[in-house]
Amino acid sequence: MREWTREERYRVLKDPHEIWDLYLKTKESKYRQIFHNQPVTGLLNDPNGFVRFDNKWHLFYQWCPWGAVHGLKYWYHIVSKDLIYWDNLGVCLLPDEAYGYDNKGAYSGSAYPIDDKMYLYYTGNNRDENYVRHPYTCLARLGKDGWPEKYPLPIFGEHPDYTEHQRDPKIIAMPEHDCYYIVLGAQTKEKKGCILIYKSEDLLHGWTFAGQLNVPGFEDFGTMWECPSIEHIGGHDILMFCPQNLKLPGRGESMHHNGYIMGQMDWESLTFHPSGEFHVLDFGFDSYAAACANNIEEKDKAILIAWMGLPEATYPTDEEDWSGCLTLPRELTVRGRRLIQRPLPELKKLRDEQVDIIKYDAGCIALPGAVEIEILLGGKDCRLSLLANEAGEGGMVISYNDTTKEICVDRSGMKRRFNENQGEARTRKLDGLSRLKIYIDSSSVEIFVNDGDAVFTSRVFPTEEERYMKLEAPEAFVSLWTLKPAVKEHFVI
């Protein structure tokens, strides 16, 4: 694997020409996605500033132009009318030596619109001359012309009672309290993950520290909580975050997770009262830093997009100098004590040819490069091999055992294996299995089980031979649709 010096990773992009050749090379990769957002060059990680504004959906992502490396981070801006077809608008927030507060990166954050302006809250990752990190919570204002204006001073700096790990502001409007809150991921001096809360009556000024969020029962749950947010869906409060350096049962050596706790938020006492345990948002291998859109009209749902990747993981495209993509947008609703995650209904727009609807007979089917598969099952044991070879061997295997009531997704049969130490098989208990909805792109598989009851999101890097599907099930109805391309590879910087 390529070793990067600090100078290389933190080099400032001065002229788009510097990455033109890299762009041409990246475009040629056979693992470029067809309907998932991905970086023009280099590395993509967290989705940022996801918001509905001016009748469009705006989304930004953490971007490092130079290669598959977590170096200097920019906010790269994309926009969509329907959350399905996206346009590249190019770099929005760039780290700035002169401004200083974000000299080593415009890190993750969120957005909120007022009138004809959008306000972007982000972490300025400042490093001083001794390379000590100082996080600032910075603000930029974006007009309809898309031009960002950074406010001269951060809205607040680092809190002295916590370590330098304080980042990822999520702005929350609370009209019923006449105020706004910012929840910020942090680490106590005892190296425990936590959330800090700031409050203001005004989006721009007067931000004060309200306190540390109490989450009874979760005082010792990982060493840092990244990308926190508190969502309110269908009358329930949901605390979402990414606890780091924590092992969870069934997740291999994986140390970084993205999950949620349902409960009730008391903004007076700054206490989130959990009504249940911590659930992972996604049972697959590659999903992190999920963000819910701000300013959506519906009260009973949220729209979520995540980074289809993980911190400290490596991917086969690292050798091609690019890495990362975003998940499909999902609709989140509450069912009982859990979140349900469904692909957005608008995704049907991507359907092109309906390849087949059959009463399944256990043969092998050649898969198109971009496909949606829907399978109705009778709840008996079954085994589905995706991206298998022509004989139906290998690939990613989804199996369901009706005696143990467990579904298992196993990618150890794929020829190109990676991040094996995170575990190559993931399981989840179900009440039964009636339906699978699967989206396969050039290098990813997203599996929605039982109408959103569980999701498994994974990157996969199939070889030329790995493009067949084989289903072994006593009774099943299968529908396949080839999908149209949705993302444009335009070189906009």
**Could you list the residues that contact ligand FRU (CB under 6 A)?**
45-46, 62, 73, 107-108, 123, 167-168, 226-227, 288-289, 311
CB of residue 421 vs ligand FRU: minimum separation in angstroms?
19
Instruction: Please report which helix (H) or strand (E) contains residue 365, including its range.
Output: strand 364-366
Give the Cα separation of 170 and 197 in Å (integer).
10
Query: Using H for helix, E for strand and C for coil, what is the string for 198-211?
Result: EEECCCCCCCEEEE
* CB neighbour class for 348 (10 Å; exposed up to 12, middle 13-18, buried from 19): exposed
Give me the count of residues in the chain. Answer: 493
- Residue closer to ligand FRU, measured from CB, 227 or 365: 227
Indicate which residues carry an active-site annotation: 46
The answer to whether the beta carbons of residues 241 and 227 sit under 8 Å apart is yes
A 10 A CB-CB count for 275 gives 12
Report how far Cα 429 is from the mean position of its chain's Cα atoms: 23
CB of residue 242 vs ligand FRU: minimum separation in angstroms?
7
**Dihedral, 11, 13, 16, 19 alpha carbons, nearest 10:** 20
The answer to whether the beta carbons of residues 45 and 37 sit under 8 Å apart is no
- Ranges assigned E (strand) in 10-143: 42-53, 56-64, 74-80, 86-93, 106-114, 117-127, 133-142
SS3 390: coil
User: Comparing C-alpha atoms, which of 302, 300, 283, 299 is closest to residue 291?
Assistant: 302
* CB neighbour class for 25 (10 Å; exposed up to 12, middle 13-18, buried from 19): middle
Give the Cα separation of 78 and 62 in Å (integer).
12
CB of residue 422 vs ligand FRU: minimum separation in angstroms?
16
A 10 A CB-CB count for 52 gives 17
- Residue closer to ligand FRU, measured from CB, 119 or 468: 119
Which amino acid belongs to residue 124? G
* CB neighbour class for 345 (10 Å; exposed up to 12, middle 13-18, buried from 19): exposed
Name the pairing type of β-strands 117-127 and 106-114: antiparallel
The answer to whether the beta carbons of residues 459 and 444 sit under 8 Å apart is yes
The two structure tokens encoding residue 482: 């080839």
The answer to whether the beta carbons of residues 281 and 273 sit under 8 Å apart is no
Instruction: Please report which helix (H) or strand (E) contains residue 7, including its range.
Output: helix 6-9
**Dihedral, 30, 31, 36, 40 alpha carbons, nearest 10:** -80
Give the Cα separation of 366 and 389 in Å (integer).
9
Give the Cα separation of 426 and 407 in Å (integer).
8
